[in-house]
Structure 1
């Protein structure tokens, strides 16, 4: 009889540790074609004019998420950082990015469609577009942006 006690205990423990429905929802299955991306106004933490579409996960919660951001022509994001790694893929247009604490167009590199930018947590950077540009952000939530100059934070003017 004791031979069955350990396997039974292991099975019961495995069932207790298995993710429940809430955890399973975090790992959703998503398939989206370009024309099916639904856009809405960007988050209040970005300057007005951006649009966003969350393709996977939830940027407000812990866990992996994928979000597309659409920026209009002549759009700027002042110098800022993020608390976690970020991988940015340029889907269309061109994304000019500079590293450092002060916006300096002379120090920016333009990344064209298909290009990738990967940044470690705390990397100081700034962004500009000359034409409409779509990027895909892959990272972990909860997502946040910290402007180096608090006066640049669009949430302060609301």
Structure 2
């Protein structure tokens, strides 16, 4: 079955969010094992996070699905997205909060299987204590805008 997938490799650039979309399709049907996912750096997040685009492209008004892998003790400053964000925790604990500034005391610990949904332009932040993987899906185009522009790693 894996041989029936057509692998696409290109560079995605949307508001500084760059990652090679690594998704495979065959007649609208897709299956992928975790070890087949290809991980890449994400310029729009602090160093250490990785992305694996499963469905996309993120730059178009079409459905997207991607996974994010965060190392232990990782923090994401307050930011928002132009599209609704559906997050499902795959492994680890993803601590999320809403607001204009990262505050680890004002978060909810989301364990594997938990879900969070943020409406477009809702400021939120997150952090991890251990390695954590989340899956994000929605309809693009997708991007990351930091509440405080000084927090944007693309500007450092």
Shared fold per TM-score greater than 0.5: yes
Secondary structure of 1:69's counterpart equals strand
1:117 deviates by 0.4
Secondary structure of 1:30's counterpart equals coil
1:64 deviates by 0.7
Secondary structure of 2:73's counterpart equals coil
Question: Which is strand-richer, 1 or 2?
Answer: 2
Where in structure 1 do 4 or more consecutive aligned residues deviate above 2 Å? Answer: none
Distance 2:61 2:98 in 1: 27
Please give the per-residue CA displacement for 1:20-63, whole angstroms capped at 9, x wherever unaligned: xxxxx8x842211222222122x211111111101112112221
8 A contact 1:98–1:127 mirrored in 2: yes
- List alignment gaps of at least 5 residues for structure 1: 1-24
TM-score w.r.t. length of structure 2:
0.80
Counterparts of 1:2-151 in structure 2, within 5 Å, are 28-41=28-41, 43-151=42-150
8 A contact 1:88–1:136 mirrored in 2: yes
Secondary structure of 1:102's counterpart equals coil
8 A contact 1:45–1:155 mirrored in 2: yes
8 A contact 2:82–2:141 mirrored in 1: no
Question: Which is helix-richer, 1 or 2?
Answer: 1
8 A contact 1:90–1:134 mirrored in 2: yes
8 A contact 1:28–1:56 mirrored in 2: no
Secondary structure of 1:74's counterpart equals coil
Please give the per-residue CA displacement for 1:75-131, whole angstroms capped at 9, x wherever unaligned: 111001111111000000110001111111111111000110011111110010000
Distance 1:154 1:131 in 2: 22
Bigger radius of gyration:
1
8 A contact 1:60–1:141 mirrored in 2: yes
